[in-house]
A and B are shown apart, each in its own frame.
Chain A
Amino acid sequence: MKERFAKISPFQVDPKEIEQAFGLNSGDFEAASETEKESVVEKRKSVSYWRDAWRRFRANTVSMIALFVFILCLLFAFVGPSLVPYGYGDQYRSSQKLSPFELSKDEAKVEALSGHCDAFYATALQPGSLTAIKKGDYFIRFGGKTYAFTASKAIEKSVIVLDVKAEEPLMLVKMSDIQDDGTWKKSTPIEHTDTPAEGAAEIKLISRVFPHVFGTDSAGRDLMARTMYGAQVSIIIGISAAIIVLLIGSVYGAISGLAGGAVDFVMMRIVELIYSIPEVLIVLLLQVVLKDPLQAWFDAHKTGIGGMLGDLGAGIVSIFITFALLYWVTMARIVRGQVLQLRKQEYVTAAVALGATSGRIIKRHLLPNAVGSLVITTCLQIPSAIFLESFLSFLGLGVSAPMASLGSLCSDALETITLFPHRLFYPAIMLTVIVLTLNLIGDGLRDALDPRLKK
């Protein structure tokens, strides 16, 4: 201390005098000790961008409710089908045109059985054919026991009834022998053993008839199962299309914004051109053009990527292609605008002055600052893709039967609107709820990720 303030020239004042004159204490200028240093170390971790955004999002009641409802929709669409015993394409001959919760004659008859036995299997309740059990070996697992039997001929219009306490636990009852109260006039015992024969097929017994919660359509398909699969298709299309748009749009926009000059000019003229095309006309044409060649290609390439896309169906894949061709322009414009705006910011200039490479500027400055608007635009793209798909399916150009989408379900329902208005209700509500919640989540994300935009 003394040395530092040692007199260098005669004009210099004695440190003591300064201390006195300004009320300073020379002790304040001592080097900090280890314990003092610790007090400066941050006690609370700084809040990251995402954590901060999540905090803001959580505070937004409307968005949180929307998120919750959307998760319910996701569960309905993706977990639901495994809880319902009906498939989207399964046609139940005797269950056509049922109202919600209504049971067909056969189903009511079989349902009445539930009080009189432990479990049953009715051929009449199987999809498509009445001869669900062909000649062959079968086994049943129920209550820890195995019942194996051989059908010497096809079993039809009958019910396999299992009553554990009865003398003959496994018996065959003809549908016509079942009375309205669930008792049966006569039954034939089925001879069974404990060990199934090689290659025997399992038959799953049920103890109640699963109700058609939304009713069935004219082909005898369960509408709840169809609505679930339809919602699944719509959500998958929405999310995949949004990702396609995000990838193409952001790369295109970023190149255009970063390159600038003539490249930017040409790229933006292309965007303007696509913008002024009446897209629905081209989309309709594209759908018709792509459908057959795509189908042919899928049929030729059953393995690998062809098989994967083939499972989705030509209609859906051509919707993806449409999105990849036409719908990325909004995203490209937004990304380009962001890049242009961010590039002029002082901190980017400062980074350039400090010698940062372009890669570092993109990674550290442009991307983190643009990520908010990217997420928001992508999220709001999902409902627009769902809109487009349902619109095309409604016009009969989207998914092909028996596959369902919410749009095709609405379109099917329109044909019978005078007789069965309820058929329209479920897919329409489902579609509206999905789009509504996604819009609200998008709004919430905008407020959370980019608080400057909050109005």
Chain B
Amino acid sequence: MASYILKRILAAIGTLLIIMAITFFLMNAIPGNPFLSEKASPQAIELAFKKYGLDKPLIVQFRNYVSNYLHGDLGVSLKMQEGTDVAKILFQQGKFDLSIKLGISALVLAVLIGIPLGCIAAYRRGTWLDGLLRVMTTVGVAIPTFVLATLLLAVLAVQLRWLDPKSGSLTDFRSFIMPVISLSSYYICYVAKLTRTSMLDAINQDYIRTARAKGVKTRVLVLKHALRNSLIPVITYLGPVTAGIITGSFVVESTFQIPGLGKYFVQSVLNRDYPVIMATTVVLSALVIVMNLVVDIAYRLVDPRITLTNREG
């Protein structure tokens, strides 16, 4: 187990390095530079290049990034908040917090609503309730996040005037409603579908029949025997989804005007603020990689039959 985790962490660092290299290559390939503006004279640009080390060869710049990151230094913003530490921008100005708050709320909602819905549908399969849930989840996975977000905005905020169209910095419960619903609806539906399928699989197994014959109560049967065995596909799905939820928040953030990480990333790309692009990518990638690792370990806790070392891709 320990050697497996160690191996995975090493692989994760390798992956992060490659992601850094790809990001570095791509962002330097974006035409233009952060200091380009109507007022800027060539001399001023040259000076700024010198100041931030952009005049050095690319390979040296990349090496500097890597060594700075290893020392925990994410660099300073070149344009959007010139001279401010990127780490400060991401973590202390609430951007990271906002995105994580939004993402975690949506994830929790997906688990807390999606799994029970899937269980109910599987348990009541063939009834009108199952049919209704099936229609709901099928439609739910077909609605793009931004469509749902804008529809909610149009109905709840504009027509009915129940909620404020700009959620801002998510200070109270009401401001959470629209962003979290629009972000999580797809995942709720998908998790419900997945749970239903794997629950049906589990319910038809012999051990369930045995347990029933033994006289185990239905509640215990569903929660303990069937659910536990049907959670693996759901957990497999939830790992990579963390990434999706945070990237999906790009759209939600721009629709509800939440100043989160997603929105800031889009702006940083458009502004060619290299250190911000790099830091955001690395922070989000690290998050995704860590989540994948956590899921792989959670696997084992849920199902001891899975041996971590021999998992086939």
Residues of A whose CB lies within 8 Å of any CB of B are 268, 271-273, 275-282, 284-286, 288-289, 292-293, 333, 383, 387, 390-391, 394-395, 407, 410-411, 413-414, 417-418, 421, 424, 428, 431-432, 435-436, 439-440, 455
Contact = CB atoms under 8 A, between A and B. Distances in A.
B22 interface: yes
Most buried by B among A282, A285, A411, A432: A285
B237 interface: no
B288 A285 contact: no
Nearest to B159: A421
Interface stretch (B67-75, B145-153, B211-219): B145-153
A288 B138 contact: no
Most buried by B among A278, A281, A292, A455: A281
Given A285-B30, A289-B29, A278 B247 contact: yes
B27 interface: yes
Nearest to B23: A285
Most buried by A among B150, B153, B158: B150
Interface stretch (B41-49, B227-235, B262-270): B262-270
Contact of B269 (A271, A285, A418, A455): A285
Given A276-B292, A410-B147, A421-B154, A288 B270 contact: yes
16 contacts: A279-B247, A281-B247, A281-B265, A281-B284, A282-B23, A286-B26, A288-B269, A387-B144, A390-B144, A391-B144, A395-B251, A414-B255, A424-B151, A428-B151, A431-B144, A432-B142
B138 A278 contact: no
A273 B15 contact: yes
- Listed from nearest, the 7 A-B pairs whose CB atoms lie closest are A436-B142, A280-B247, A285-B26, A435-B142, A428-B147, A421-B154, A289-B29
Given A271-B313, A285-B26, A439-B142, 14 more contacts: A276-B285, A278-B281, A285-B27, A289-B26, A383-B142, A395-B266, A407-B144, A410-B146, A410-B147, A417-B154, A431-B147, A432-B143, A440-B138, A455-B197
Contacts, number: 116
Contacts of B250: 280, 395
A278 B288 CA distance: 7
A239 to B, nearest CB: 17
A218 to B, nearest CB: 17
Interface in B1-49: 15, 18-19, 22-23, 26-27, 29-31
B201 interface: yes
Contacts of A455: 197, 200-201
Contacts of B29: 289
Given A391-B144, A417-B153, A439-B142, A289 B30 contact: yes
Interface of B: 15, 18-19, 22-23, 26-27, 29-31, 138-139, 141-147, 150-151, 153-154, 158-159, 165, 197, 200-201, 240, 243, 246-247, 250-251, 254-255, 265-266, 269-270, 277, 280-281, 284-285, 288-289, 292, 313
A284 B255 CA distance: 17
A407 to B, nearest CB: 8
Most buried by A among B31, B153, B277, B313: B313
A432 B144 contact: yes
Interface secondary structure of B, over-half rule: helix
A391 B30 contact: no
A277 B150 CA distance: 28
A266 to B, nearest CB: 12
Contact of A282 (B26, B30, B144, B200): B26
B251 A417 contact: no
Contact of A391 (B19, B146, B197): B146
Nearest to A277: B19
Given A285-B277, A417-B158, A436-B142, A428 B150 contact: yes
A439 B144 contact: no
Contacts of B146: 390-391, 394, 407, 410-411
A276 B240 CA distance: 8
Contacts of A293: 31
A394 B285 CA distance: 23
Contacts of B277: 285
Nearest to B242: A278
A174 to B, nearest CB: 42
A76 B57 CA distance: 54
A436 B144 CA distance: 10
Nearest to B265: A281
Contacts of A289: 26-27, 29-30
A410 B288 contact: no
Nearest to A418: B158
A284 B265 contact: yes
A411 B27 CA distance: 25
